[in-house]
Structure 1
Amino acid sequence: MNVLLFGATGMVGQSVLRECLLDPQVQSVLTVGRNTTGQKHPKLHEQVHANLLDLSDIEHKLSGFDACFFCLGVSSAGMTEDRYRAITYDITMHVAETLVRLNPNMSFFYVTGMGTDSTEKGRSMWARVKGKTENDLLKLPFKAAYMFRPGGILPLHGVKSKTKLYQSIYTITKPLYPMLEKWFPNSITTSEKIGRAMIKIAKQGYPKSIIEGRDINLI
């Protein structure tokens, strides 16, 4: 299986990349983003590309893939809806529309979040934008598309958040990880489980398009 990964330097992206490099059925991984991951591995190839709203210069490198794990995202804190939509919706859809044209047999995986609003009409701005993004991705003619909606994510194996405040919270609460997983099986998962669940679905498929936290843990 050949994998394309967007957002490989974020917390979820780091986790997915780690699991891809460990999985013997993943033959190659191409990361696309503004920065390299800093990792070296025989399966890993990296493409630095700043403007994800224009992929024309690298389109020739984006075909021949079985799955895309789209883990790129930002917090909505302090953002206007127009700005958040430009990053969350516009970039995601441009990438997806390009990839479905180049890889019609691809499975596309999009990381959203617990509480995403599929009606697109709720009071929460981020949830509306994420909901529209999900809905429009599911309309594209991919082989399959899956929307991952994790709640709390516990980072494992050295995976770190790029947000200093979040990382400090993870460091303080790390001794509680086993209990949090046990107490909140529907809303808490780990970075490792997200990566493994994506890879397993990419190999075998799954009967649901919306993958909630409990599904991730079960898969």
Structure 2
Amino acid sequence: MVTAPANLKMVAIFGASGTAGDGILEAAMANPEISKIHVITRRSTARIDAGIASGKVLMTAHRDYLDYSDIVEQLAEVDAVFWAIGISSIGADEETYRRIHIDFPQQFLKEWINVGTKPSASFHFISSSDISADSTAMWARVKIEAENTLSDLAKDNSLRVIAYRPDYIGPTDEEAHIGQALVYWFFAPVGAAVKAEQIGQAMIEVVIRGDQFANGDKLSNQLILRYSNAYEDRNEVRSANIAGTVNAP
């Protein structure tokens, strides 16, 4: 069994007010190894407020996602960044879609690398399944360009950029409405859907496993589910060990 390293203490989440980001935040808040969560967001949510009240979440209101000069230094010591900023391609023009899915994270990575990251730091972001540079779909071409652009930025340093390629993302129970629940339960039996919190669990599991993952690695929907399950198994073992210690004579 892979054990959690001592450096899994501090993470940052971008996009925690959205569907996927809310699930990632839920997973991070539930993880006992993580002591501080930096949430970079335009607005708060009930979960963010609860995290602030617990003392585990530090929220920073941020508006300009092409300029991180006012926040990047406080993130120099984080062990991992979980990036969940994105929009639907429906009704979006290509310029706007590219700015949000490529320019925003690209600028952050440039500034984060420039300020100096921890040697073991990693950047985890949500991409999409079924993407290709030759696709006729604008969003698919942009997503594959984002993967290549972001991993290329980390080639000359120790930073690792990992992409997650889910199919359908089901929201957390607190955020779900009946339509989303029906879509999730339609795709889930054939392995074509993940819960938002499962993405967060998989991201944490990948961080825990450290050098088992290299810069540029990509996790399919099936691998997201596999590492989410591995994360839950790890927590069950940990809980059992704690219970055994408490109940020992």
Equivalent residue, structure 2, for 1:196: 201
Equivalent residue, structure 2, for 1:20: 28
Structure 2 distance, partners of 1:78, 1:192, is 27
Q: 2:172 aligns with which of 156, 160, 166?
A: 156
SS, match of residue 57 in structure 1: coil
Q: Which has the higher helix share?
A: 2
Summarize the Cα distance change of 1:82–1:60 in structure 2 as closer, same or farther, 3 Å threshold.
same
SS, match of residue 161 in structure 2: strand
Q: How does 1:1-219 map to 2 (within 5 A)?
A: 1-38=9-46, 39-40=49-50, 41-101=54-114, 102-105=116-119, 106-117=121-132, 120-141=133-154, 142-160=158-176, 167-171=177-181, 173=182, 177=185, 180-182=187-189, 184-185=190-191, 187-205=192-210, 206-207=212-213, 209-219=217-227
Structure 1 distance, partners of 2:138, 2:193, is 23
TM-score (norm 1): 0.87
Q: CA RMSD in A?
A: 1.9
| Per-residue CA distance 1:12-58 (angstroms, 9 max, x = gap) | 10001011011011111001121123423211000001001111122
Structure 1 distance, partners of 2:108, 2:166, is 22
Structure 2 distance, partners of 1:138, 1:51, is 23
CA contact (8 A) 1:15 1:159 kept: no
Q: Which runs of 4+ in 1 moved over 4 A?
A: none
Structure 2: segments with no counterpart, 5+ residues? 1-8, 228-249
Structure 1: segments with no counterpart, 5+ residues? 161-166
Opposite residue 154 of structure 1, the aligned amino acid is: G
Equivalent residue, structure 2, for 1:163: none
Structure 2 distance, partners of 1:37, 1:26, is 20
Opposite residue 194 of structure 2, the aligned amino acid is: T
Q: Identity over the aligned pairs, expressed in percent?
A: 26
Q: What is the number of residues matched between the two proteins?
A: 206
How far does residue 196 in structure 1 lie from its aligned partner after superposition?
0.6
How far does residue 60 in structure 1 lie from its aligned partner after superposition?
2.8
SS, match of residue 56 in structure 1: coil
Equivalent residue, structure 1, for 2:243: none
Q: Which range moves more in the overlay, 65-74 or 27-36?
A: 27-36
CA contact (8 A) 2:78 2:118 kept: no
Structure 2 distance, partners of 1:143, 1:90, is 19
